[in-house]
């Protein structure tokens, strides 16, 4: 048989060989071999491989390793504004790191940012327990404005976390991490309502339940790592369902806070939109989540729920809150512009509403999603 070798055939053959190599690498990988010393070895390799690339100003690790073999290493690359540098970062991970090393280092794209935003990255997303691995040592400013924290909380409880709990086909590792990350959302919620002296709206049983779910999740992460059995799958179902219920109550508390403490107009708050295509039937085809807005039950027909006044009609906010929203948005927009221009739109964090032009999205669905109360 005569074989015809052209560019198309060669690309096909190359892809087959790459898939075979990756598959063999996966088969040879034993998650129990991942130890705390292996994490340190991977970090040393980060410095070795990336310290040689011109234009990388600094590399940081942030977060914590709370479950050996399950936790990943979160990385920040501070780079000069040049697409070639980002390209080298992505390609170096692919070419120079084994499957086992990428399992620890490259579960997701690292945070790639410029030096003009690095000091205020906590206004975009929380980066705690920061550790310098290579390069210049920048200062990381804390967010001390409670109204900025309130705005960040609204962003999380109305967009990011409902989305993560409804996302299908997640690995056990991702399920563990998303549930664990709710700890930050809940702690931020407590900080905000404590500052404004607003009722928690959760009884002692519910508060204890949140802590128990988070504690149990930690135990499962350490015991099962990236594997799970029927018991763990039932836990995922229960935990995410309960956290969605908690998010619903948190929404009501924030509504109350905005009206009673910040004097946002009641009629303005009623103008909320359901944006997106994700139907709230994650757990049962016949089940649709509902939320109580000012005493009336509204069906979640689509996802996600957004506070229109924060993300579009900002001029209706009280002066102090509007100032806080603009303060945070300044850093978020600077970060997003950098990622789009110099990191190919790829980074660890990218706000949902910023992925596409917000006005275009609203125009496409504005007629179908308006809620009249």
Give me the CATH code for the 7-135 domain, please.
Answer: 3.30.460
pLDDT of residue 201 exceeding 80, the answer is: no
* For the chain, domain boundaries: 7-135, 146-312+358-369
pLDDT for 203 equals: 72
Give the pLDDT band of residue 373 (cuts 50, 70, 90). Answer: very low
Across the chain, what does the average pLDDT equal?
77
pLDDT of residue 138 exceeding 90, the answer is: yes
Mean pLDDT on 335-339: 92
Among the residue ranges 51-65, 85-99, 141-155, 240-254, the one predicted with the least confidence is: 240-254
Tokens of 306: 């957004």
Look at the pTM and tell me if it is higher than 0.85.
no
């Amino acid at each position: 048989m005569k074989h015809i070798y052209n560019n198309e055939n060669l690309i096909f053959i190359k892809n087959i060989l790459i898939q075979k190599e990756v598959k063999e690498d996966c088969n040879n990988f034993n998650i129990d071999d991942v130890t705390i010393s292996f994490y340190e070895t991977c970090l040393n390799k980060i410095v070795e491989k990336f310290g040689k690339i011109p234009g990388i100003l600094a590399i940081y690790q942030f977060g914590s390793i709370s479950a050996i073999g399950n936790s990943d290493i979160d990385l920040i690359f501070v780079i000069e504004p040049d697409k070639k540098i980002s390209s080298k970062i992505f390609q170096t991970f692919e070419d120079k790191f084994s499957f086992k090393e990428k399992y620890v280092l490259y579960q997701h794209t690292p945070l790639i940012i410029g030096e003009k935003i690095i000091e205020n990255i906590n206004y975009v997303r929380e980066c705690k327990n920061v550790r310098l691995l290579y390069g210049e040592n920048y200062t990381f400013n804390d967010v001390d404005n409670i109204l900025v924290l309130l705005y960040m909380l609204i962003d999380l409880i109305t967009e990011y976390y409902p989305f993560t709990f409804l996302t299908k086909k997640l690995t056990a590792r991702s399920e563990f991490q998303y549930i664990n990350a709710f700890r930050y959302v809940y702690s931020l919620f407590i900080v905000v309502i404590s500052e404004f002296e607003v009722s928690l709206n959760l009884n002692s049983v519910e508060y204890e339940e949140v802590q128990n779910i988070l504690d149990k999740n930690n135990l499962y992460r350490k015991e099962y790592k990236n594997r799970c059995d029927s018991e763990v799958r039932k836990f995922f179902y229960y935990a995410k369902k309960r956290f969605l219920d908690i998010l619903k109550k948190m929404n009501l508390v924030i509504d109350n806070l905005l009206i009673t403490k910040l004097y946002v107009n009641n009629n303005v708050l009623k103008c909320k939109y359901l944006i997106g295509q994700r139907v709230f039937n994650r757990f049962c085809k016949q089940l649709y989540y509902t939320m109580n807005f000012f005493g009336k039950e509204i069906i979640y027909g689509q996802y996600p729920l957004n506070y229109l006044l924060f993300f579009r009609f900002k001029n209706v906010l009280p002066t102090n809150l509007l100032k806080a929203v603009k303060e945070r948005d300044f850093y978020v927009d600077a970060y997003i512009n950098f990622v789009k221009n110099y990191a190919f739109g790829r980074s660890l964090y990218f706000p949902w509403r910023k992925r596409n032009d917000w006005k275009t999205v609203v125009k496409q669905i504005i007629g179908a999603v308006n809620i009249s109360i």
